[in-house]
Amino acid sequence: MRHLHIDAKLFIKNRERLKASLKPGSLTIANANDILPTNADGSLTMQANSDLFYLSGIEQEESVLALFPDHPDETMREILFLREPNEHLKVWEGHKHSKEQAISISGIRNIKWLDSFPTILHQLMCDADHVYLNSNEHKRAVVEVETRDARFIQNLKARYPLHQYHRLARIMHALRAVKSEVEMQLLKKAISVTKSGFERVAKATRQGVNEFELEAEFIHEFTRNRCKFAYNPIIAGGENSCILHYNQNDQALKNGELLLIDVGANYANYNADLTRTIPVSGRFSKRQRDVYEAVLRVQKASIAGAVVGKLHKDWFKESQEMMNQELLNLGLIDQKDITDQKPSEPACRKYFMHGLGHVLGLDVHDVGLMHEPFAPGWVLTVEPGIYIPKEGFGVRLENNILVTENGPIDLMADIAIEPDEIEALMARRK
């Protein structure tokens, strides 16, 4: 593992929270993710399953967690199944968890090798009335390949058709939305490494440097700090800054352009998600600064508006109303555009066509209950933008915040964002 050891108390507590949400006589199974094939004998790097990690701290492939909190035999209440290490695996793939290590990571005392899974699963199923299984229920997920969880659900339901099956995802979404203090420490580490990456890149930005050279600066800074990319970084100079999901990152930068950087570090599976927009020359033009300040005002007001009890849809609508006024002042829309707008198509959508923010955590677009009012412990991104292809630039600013009873806390308050701070940071370039 690249990250430092995490006290197993986090995962013990997470399992306690899950157990409180289950029906009596319940078995819950969480699977690791598949290692996804690419071409020939290639594969993508293993991505830890967020729910399995949340409940056990385990990131190793093929692992299975079985929880049966009220099983009469105490040893059957928590069982973690792992690949058995052997000499062949040691030579070809390297280290696999020993039982002692798995206990230390997860706090689960009963660790079994995978070959015992079918027998023990049958015993558990014979004693269970309810079975909670996992599925990807993220609203924006488009999953065309059959996942390990999907195969498991099919097999189990075929073999045991008379049990009561339930969706684990719904419970996990509610649990994961509210971050604990330890989770916040991990997330803050991801944010602090993102900050150092951004500062390093701001100092390396200049005419003639290619976007991929800046990507390389991030890789170096993240990797040496035990992190990886939270997602493919967007490093977009000039007109590319108007492409919302640009990640070719292969163009040379020119003076006069803005550079939009949307990047986050992932530490111990927790993700930061930062966007800053900086001038390649080190100085904003008057027009760039006017647009930048408009986005910044909307961001600041939206951060302040992320209070307990707010509904996401109202929060978003308020930002669109502010954005309409800003765009009016910038001469990008006129009063008639606002008067004639349909509720589903506010005038600002021509220049601010994406959402205001999303929940953040073990996934970048994290799971959560987006129709529920904001609650203490939620982490949100706040990321308004204005994109003007005809003027050759877009501006987006994205911070991560924590919703608390005492108001929102900006977790990125110490990352330069005022235009003067950005110019001062870039003035320190060698």
Q: Which is nearer to ligand GLY, 215 or 398 (CB)?
A: 398
Q: Which of the 8 DSSP states describes residue 34?
A: P
Near Mn ion by CB under 5 A, which window of 146-154, 308-316, 320-328, 392-400?
392-400
What gap in Å lies between CA 243 and CA 239, rounded to an integer?
Answer: 8
Residues between 346 and 375 with contacts to ligand GLY, criterion CB under 6 A: 358, 364
Q: How far is the CB of 273 from Mn ion (least distance, A)?
A: 4
Closest among 105, 124, 11, 116 to 67, alpha carbons compared:
124
What gap in Å lies between CA 222 and CA 229, rounded to an integer?
Answer: 7
Residue 48 identity (one-letter amino acid): A
Q: Which does 231 bind (CB under 5 to 8 A by kind): ligand GLY, Mn ion, none?
A: ligand GLY
Q: How far is the CB of 275 from Mn ion (least distance, A)?
A: 5
What gap in Å lies between CA 18 and CA 28, rounded to an integer?
Answer: 10
Tokens 């996401």 sit on residue: 312
Choose, by CB under 6 A, the member of 117, 152, 160, 231 that binds ligand GLY.
Answer: 231
Residues between 18 and 57 with contacts to ligand GLY, criterion CB under 6 A: none
What gap in Å lies between CA 210 and CA 212, rounded to an integer?
Answer: 5
Q: Which is nearer to ligand GLY, 165 or 231 (CB)?
A: 231
Strand partners, 386: 395
DSSP, collapsed to helix, strand or coil, labels residue 41 as coil
Q: Which is nearer to Mn ion, 128 or 272 (CB)?
A: 272
Q: Which is nearer to ligand GLY, 364 or 409 (CB)?
A: 364
Cβ count near 104 (within 10 Å): 14
The site for Mn ion, by CB under 5 A, has a size of 4
Tell me the residue number closest to ligand GLY, measured at CB: 262
Q: Which is nearer to ligand GLY, 131 or 230 (CB)?
A: 230
Q: How far is the CB of 300 from ligand GLY (least distance, A)?
A: 18
CA atoms within 13 A on the CB side of 122: 5
Q: Which is nearer to Mn ion, 221 or 273 (CB)?
A: 273
Residues between 373 and 402 with contacts to ligand GLY, criterion CB under 6 A: 383, 398
Q: Which is nearer to ligand GLY, 97 or 173 (CB)?
A: 173
Q: Is the Cα torsion angle 420, 422, 425, 427 positive or negative in sign? A: negative
Q: How far is the CB of 398 from Mn ion (least distance, A)?
A: 5
Buried b (16+ CB within 10 A) or exposed e, 266-285: bbbbbbbbbbbbbbbbbebe
Choose, by CB under 5 A, the member of 134, 205, 381, 399 that binds Mn ion.
Answer: 381
Q: Which is nearer to Mn ion, 52 or 397 (CB)?
A: 397
Q: How far is the CB of 353 from Mn ion (least distance, A)?
A: 14
Closest among 1, 61, 53, 57 to 35, alpha carbons compared:
61
Q: Which of the 8 DSSP states describes residue 74?
A: G
Residue 207 identity (one-letter amino acid): Q
Strand partners, 398: 275
Near Mn ion by CB under 5 A, which window of 106-114, 210-218, 219-227, 374-382?
374-382
Per rule CB under 6 A, is residue 273 in the interface with ligand GLY?
A: yes
Q: How far is the CB of 249 from ligand GLY (least distance, A)?
A: 13
Taking each continuous run of H as one helix and of E as one strand, the counts in the chain are 13, 17
Q: How far is the CB of 336 from ligand GLY (least distance, A)?
A: 32
Choose, by CB under 6 A, the member of 149, 239, 257, 262 that binds ligand GLY.
Answer: 262
The site for ligand GLY, by CB under 6 A, has a size of 7
Contacts by residues 212-220 (CB-CB < 8 Å, ≥ 24 positions apart) = 212/249, 212/250, 214/249, 214/259, 214/261, 215/249, 218/263
Q: How far is the CB of 363 from ligand GLY (least distance, A)?
A: 11
Per rule CB under 5 A, is residue 262 in the interface with Mn ion?
A: yes
Per rule CB under 6 A, is residue 316 in the interface with ligand GLY?
A: no
What gap in Å lies between CA 102 and CA 60, rounded to an integer?
Answer: 10
Per rule CB under 5 A, is residue 273 in the interface with Mn ion?
A: yes
What gap in Å lies between CA 312 and CA 175, rounded to an integer?
Answer: 18
Q: Which is nearer to ligand GLY, 307 or 364 (CB)?
A: 364
Per rule CB under 5 A, is residue 221 in the interface with Mn ion?
A: no
Chain residues binding Mn ion by CB under 5 A are: 262, 273, 381, 398
Residues that bind ligand GLY (CB under 6 A): 231, 262, 273, 358, 364, 383, 398
